[in-house]
Chains A and B, each alone.
Chain A
Amino acid sequence: MNHRFISSCFTSTAFILALAFPIVLFPTVSFGQINQSEYYKISKVPTPEGVVLEVGDFEFMADGRLAVSSRRGDIFMFHKPLQPDASKITSSLFMDGLHEVLGLAERDGSLYATQRGEITRLQDQTGDGLADVCETISDGWGINGDYHEYAFGSEFDSNGDIWVTLCLTGSFTSQNKYRGWCLRVSPDGTVTPTCSGVRSPGGIGFNAAGDVFYTDNQGPWNGTCGLKWLRPGSFQGNPQGNSWYKETDAIGVRPQDPQSGSRIMAEAKKLPELEPTAILFPYKKMGQSAAGIVCDQSNGKFGPFKEQLFVCDQTFSWVMRVDLEKVNGHYQGACFPFTEGFGSGNLAIEQASNGMMFVGGTNRGWGSRGKSPFALERLEWTGKTPFEVLSMNAKPDGFELQFTKPVDRETANKIESYSMPTYTYIYQESYGSPEVDHVECNITSASVSEDGLTVRLTVDQLHEGHVHELHLDGVRSAEGNPLWHPVGYYTLNYIPESKVALED
């Protein structure tokens, strides 16, 4: 696909449309004016001829090959994936006939594949490039043939464990063992139930500190999609699978069921096990189907967003950016739009040591903006830094914003340059939720730091449990440019206490 063509085409279409019906355009954030490819380049990676490679996950092998698994059960090895011209990358079959592989992890030359029903170790003992041993490491959970019972596997954590998140049976029940749970599986196959309350995961990954996060999708008990922290022992919010507490004492006794129709922070106060969603992705603003997660560990080779998380969305065929912080011992933070225009529904994402990211997708069963049935693409930073909100941190009386480039003091000092509606979602057993409890958060001051990289916003009142949707339409860079993405969504589960108050 010719992205430059689309972008320029869009710019002119947008102009015509803007004349024709302004009402449609203005409420939406329009990213059309800035050309994404100036900062980040998407290139197509050739996939094997005749193969439908609906990418399920990625993993780099120790020798630099990139393993790519698919929903159809294949695993291909991509050779020299980091060479400058992505169109020259070649691939060869490693294994086929597996059951919807949505997790790959490498250790000691073996590739561990999370299939629907088990974790399997694949080895190529003959060295011919094809796996010839397919060994079941663990099948410590149940499946019954319902398509919804997916299993997403992580890479190895620092203890050598794979984390597996298990989709419920359909949207509303857990009919088989540990459906709706996260398990840790050690190299010897020992299963440690780790978290309950999972609904419908779309991806799993680590942050820079090694804590594990997964995305969970809109549905029962999820008003919208979110990024959740798999704090060992926690309950992730959906009680459908809680009957399996009877099978294990690994994370204590079954917590009380939350009250349907409540708000998640109201319930979190009653249920210490409940880990509130760290990042809410407001539905249809920040995608509709959150999926794979990767942390930028490239130390600047992928741009200024060091150690932030990058999260795929299947429906929007884009990648979002997440900046987390810990408040009161819980992760929360902001999400921002990032790169869009991928070929299919983004499901998996992986980063190479040189900063390049690989994004793979499928739109089978769930539609996506990207029109191809599957896609494998490489995302590279061009070396040019976009003007963006780098981070958004909660303060007792507002937010502190870091920017990637110095701001224009005049526009950034004006409170009129910003607006911040807030809202939350109903925490309920029926499917999804509209945005509710709308309150405008009024910005009372905006002050720019000496270096122009930080803006401190104070507000009249912060709203616990609300998404604070910050618009920065009026802010310009010192060079006079608007932000690439003049919007961020902060999930304010906990309001930091003021230090003065603590000293009292």
Chain B
Amino acid sequence: MTVKTTFFLSIFFAISLLTLPALAEDNEKHPLVPGLERFIDVETITNVERGNLLINELNCASCHEAKSNWSVQPKQAPVLSKVGERILPEYFQSYLLNPQHVKPGTTMPNVLAGKSESEQQLIAESLAHFLASTGTVTKQNSNSKSVSQGEQLFHSVGCVACHNPQNEDVKIATSVPLGSLEDKYSLSSLTEFIKNPMHARPSGRMPQFNLSNSEAQNIAAYLIRDAVVESKINFAYYEGKWENLPDFDQLKPVSKGTTSGFDVQLGKAKDHFGIVFTGFWDVPTDGEYRFKLTSDDGSRLIIDGNTIVDNDGIHGMNSVEKAASMTAGIHQVRVEFFEYQGGEDLRVVVNGNGLKEISFESLLRPTREVVIDPDNQPFVLDLKKAALGKAHFQSVGCASCHEMKLPKNDLGEAEIEVLNLPTPVPFSKMNPLAGCLSDTQPAVDFRLNSFQRMCIAEAISAEQNSETQNNNPEQLIHEKLVTLNCYACHNRQMSDRSIRGGVVDMRGDSLEIYDRKKWFTGTQVEMGDEGQHPPALKSIGAKLNRKWLDKVLLESAKDRPYMLTRMPKFGADNLGTLADELVAFDKLTNVPVVTESETERKIKSHGRFLAGDQALSCIKCHTFGKYPATGVQAIDLTTMTKRLNRDWFQMYMLKPSNFRRGTRMPESWPGGKSYYPDILNGDTSQQIDSIWKFLEDGERAAKPKGLVRSKMELKPGDTPKMYRNFIQGAGARAVGVGYPEEVNLAFDAELCRLALLWQENFIDASRHWSGRGQGFEPPLGENLLELPDAIVFAKNSQPDQWTKTKGPDSPHFKGYHFDENRRPVFDYQLDGIVIKDQPVPTVEDDRALITRKFTIVADQPCKLYYLVGQSEQAKIEGNSIVFGDRWTTQFSGAVKLQLSKDKNGSVVAEIDLPKGQTVFQQKYDW
């Protein structure tokens, strides 16, 4: 074929294509290759290149002899050895009959397309039995807690980088389809698949995230949350507050029913409840079984009335494992559980006698006898059909793409009519408008859309014309990034300065890709996109040192603890020579040569100074080993030299935005100029290198200045020291007063109450005076007395309950003035009553105490109620109240005052205020 033909091809497809928007309608039905969709509108990518990507991802070369025009191994079809252990038997037949209908977007072709309907049914059914004969898999339900944790994981760890989000009706063109997973997988088989996807799909298009067992299980549980699973066990749900398992038979359940598993969140209460699960277990063979009961709080396993495992009491997730000999036959199982408060969970796992870590509920049924649901007939394996399927597996071409080690059990050979599998034509002799690319009767029906057929045809035509492939090093890197879908998370700037891929599509107008942004999240929201979006790959081969680059690619990475999206691993075979290519291509130019002018020890000392809070303050935003930063918690400084190349560090520090667009990392040497002329002769590159050298010591490095907060104790001088700030126990508007007599108080200006009294040291201001000053600081000294945390004054009537809820009649803080000793006199008012509250320290027997002098002015006679303290042990003795052996207080002065104590232990002073001024004292001794 000649160049002219290529031109003809384009015209041909252009006519059949009409316009690009027509693609949208086709979207549901064509095989989805994310790399094709992502750059469908990028003009610098040719259709030949697109075609080569498709040929690779559809694995055309598994049938057709072809030259490889792509630098990544073709996408291999799933491995089908023991597929019966992975996929539910009911799934196979319908999928084989119409893959694109059951899983829109799949790259699996319909291999039965050309056959009669009855033939299709027969072959699909036999193949289903054959595939199902390779193992067994049982449907299990997932519990609701697992589902909700899985939902959160699915939408944060990076699944949504490639797949559609599941909790919103959003369909993104580049999304790799999931199909109806609940019809395809069981909980445990999907968990296994997610944990190690490359076991079944070796090509790494679905990469392996380093998920823990429970994370994988939670994601699986979420993805099959709609699975209809038969009821396995009965439950009875009780509410009550117990510290050990109660005798449930003596209690009345709040609700009863059947459920599919040990779901401890099936009731309404969050805390203080219990559940009894009952069911029957048909033990297949005699033998010893080990039962592991893991629960928070207590649980117990009872079989046939005998306690097998006892895990009672209040505790966190605690496991107890016990063995028991069981005889074959039906046994009655009972699991009791209770929750005191906090978190709750229950898992029962069986091992032994051929069972391995099996969720016990999967073995149970709610009734002694098996009840058969006529609408939901289970799949029953027919070995004859399986034998026929085994033959068809070869004849219809499954074996061309799918690796499969035949199961041990010999199904025998079925006699089948020999089907005429056409011999695949090599690309060099192919008519690009026929065969699989025919738009009317494709040989194997991939359901390609016209654009895809055009691209493949152009690629074949190019190969036939021996048109040289664009094998420049940048293209080789791009082929890997597009095939493994690295672009879903990372962008990379090309040498023509265009940017490919990334969470936010830098082309700016590709709204569909942009749509995924909200599923890239982090724990440090103030870091902005940098804390949420995986890093750009510009100069990545120069950025990471070779050891770390290999580690990131081969073992995955978790260097950014604030970023919820994780870097997965893709498998060494799939990555090929990517690391070599990145290192060869990403060269930095004009890296300054650093000439050392001082000794290593001095250079490190300068680096330490520069990183500290008196210079560049790197530690304000970056963590340093175990030490948090004072602002955002950006990537750990002690990992820098482990990860990075020294040259890149030099160039990055000079101008961070050259490497990270929009970074918040400041340009500390603006225009290359140093702010520190005295350090290393003001030489910028030496200064940058000194930080590198300092950081090379990693966690063993001396701590940068300002890293560890030192105490800033405030001490009163001759007059009291004031400290208005967030004081623990005295609120956000606390007024701390430290008296020279070594007694201190904190007044809560919001509630107008004396909140705290203590002795000795006043307060440490370092929490609020270093960094941003987050949080509440407790008093520093000793003998802390906490007074009622409520509004303690009320006019005319005593409230039923003393609360913190302010109303129009609540006292209002009016400030303070200083007396002749510069002690504050607090001023607050409520509805015509003005209270001047003057705390005065007094020293008795070497102890400093506080006496409050109240001067109250009322505009008319009224009663004032004052909550003095709260304690069940409080005793009123005349004008004194003794609060156990903790503290006493005593009123004195010309005041009509009546003390009373209510059933809650609230001691209230009822004060008769005449019009005008009333003066009295209250002394605290504690």
Contact = CB atoms under 8 A, between A and B. Distances in A.
Nearest to A340: B670
Interface stretch (B252-260, B614-622, B883-891): B614-622
Contact of B771 (A9, A172, A365, A432): A365
B813 A369 contact: no
Given A13-B684, A145-B776, A28 B671 contact: yes
Contact of A136 (B668, B770, B771, B814): B814
A135 B814 contact: yes
B444 to A, nearest CB: 42
A20 B675 contact: no
A30 B65 CA distance: 60
A103 interface: no
B91 interface: no
Interface in A64-79: 71-73
A239 interface: no
A219 B771 CA distance: 19
Contact of A430 (B529, B662, B774, B824): B529
A434 B529 contact: yes
Interface stretch (A94-102, A304-312, A401-409): A94-102
A85 B526 CA distance: 43
A271 interface: no
Contacts of B824: 134
A16 to B, nearest CB: 9
Interface in B714-772: 721-726, 731-733, 735-736, 749-750, 765, 769-772
B101 interface: no
B772 A364 contact: yes
A500 interface: no
Contacts of B770: 364
Interface in B616-633: 616-617, 620-621, 630-631
A431 B525 contact: yes
B614 A434 contact: no
Nearest to A260: B518
A422 B110 CA distance: 52
Nearest to B532: A430
B771 A364 contact: yes
A409 B662 CA distance: 38
B677 A9 contact: yes
B114 interface: no
Contacts of A147: 772-775
Given A120-B815, A145-B726, A24 B658 contact: yes
B592 A435 contact: no
B817 interface: yes
B664 interface: yes
A369 B666 contact: yes
A464 interface: no
A17 interface: yes
A405 B819 CA distance: 60
Nearest to A10: B673
Interface in B795-841: 813-818, 822, 824, 827
Contacts of A283: 662
The A contact surface, by secondary structure, is: loop
Among A6, A71, A130, A365, max chain B CB count under 10 A is at A365
A261 B677 contact: no
Contacts of B531: 431
A115 B863 CA distance: 34
B654 A97 contact: no
Among B508, B674, B815, max chain A CB count under 10 A is at B815
A24 B654 contact: yes
Interface in A389-442: 430-437
Given A24-B672, A369-B675, A145 B775 contact: yes
Contact of A32 (B631, B658, B673, B774): B673
Nearest to A371: B615
A171 B525 contact: yes
A250 interface: no
B671 A172 contact: no
B790 interface: no
Contacts of B518: 430
Interface in A269-291: 283-284, 288
A365 B772 contact: yes
B529 A431 contact: yes
Given A24-B672, A172-B525, A132 B722 contact: no
A147 B775 CA distance: 7
Contacts of B528: 218-219, 430-432
Given A364-B771, A365-B630, A434-B662, A135 B508 contact: no
B517 interface: yes
Contacts of B590: 20-24
Contacts of B514: 261
Nearest to A428: B517
A159 interface: no
A366 B771 CA distance: 8
A477 B733 CA distance: 57
A430 B527 CA distance: 10
A32 B724 contact: no
A379 to B, nearest CB: 18
A365 B672 contact: no
A14 B684 CA distance: 10
A171 B817 contact: no
Nearest to A8: B677
A146 B774 contact: yes
A145 B729 CA distance: 12
B504 interface: yes
Nearest to A72: B769
A477 B526 CA distance: 44
Given A97-B723, A219-B526, A367 B776 contact: no
A75 to B, nearest CB: 12
B815 A136 contact: yes
Interface in A138-171: 139, 143-148, 171
Contacts of B924: none
Given A132-B818, A139-B813, A147-B774, A434 B661 contact: yes
Interface in B628-664: 630-631, 651, 654-655, 657-658, 661-662, 664
B682 interface: yes
Nearest to B706: A373
A118 B776 CA distance: 18
A107 B275 CA distance: 70
A117 B662 contact: no
A33 B265 CA distance: 71
B613 interface: yes
B243 interface: no
B525 A13 contact: no
Contact of A73 (B662, B677, B724, B726): B724
Interface string B529-546: 101100000000000000
B560 to A, nearest CB: 15
Contact of A367 (B621, B721, B732): B621
A351 interface: no
Contacts of A14: 671-673
B815 A135 contact: yes
A252 to B, nearest CB: 25
B671 A371 contact: no
Interface string A80-100: 000000000000000011111
A266 interface: no
Interface string A91-128: 00000111110000000000000011110110000000
Given A284-B657, A369-B675, 18 more contacts: A13-B673, A14-B672, A17-B671, A22-B590, A28-B671, A72-B769, A73-B725, A117-B732, A134-B815, A134-B816, A135-B814, A172-B525, A364-B630, A367-B617, A430-B532, A432-B528, A435-B662, A436-B508
20 contacts: A6-B675, A10-B673, A13-B683, A14-B671, A17-B592, A24-B651, A24-B655, A25-B672, A96-B722, A115-B724, A132-B822, A134-B817, A147-B774, A284-B667, A315-B666, A367-B616, A367-B621, A371-B614, A372-B614, A430-B518
> Closest 6 A-B residue pairs measured CB to CB?
A97-B722, A431-B528, A365-B772, A367-B617, A21-B590, A434-B662
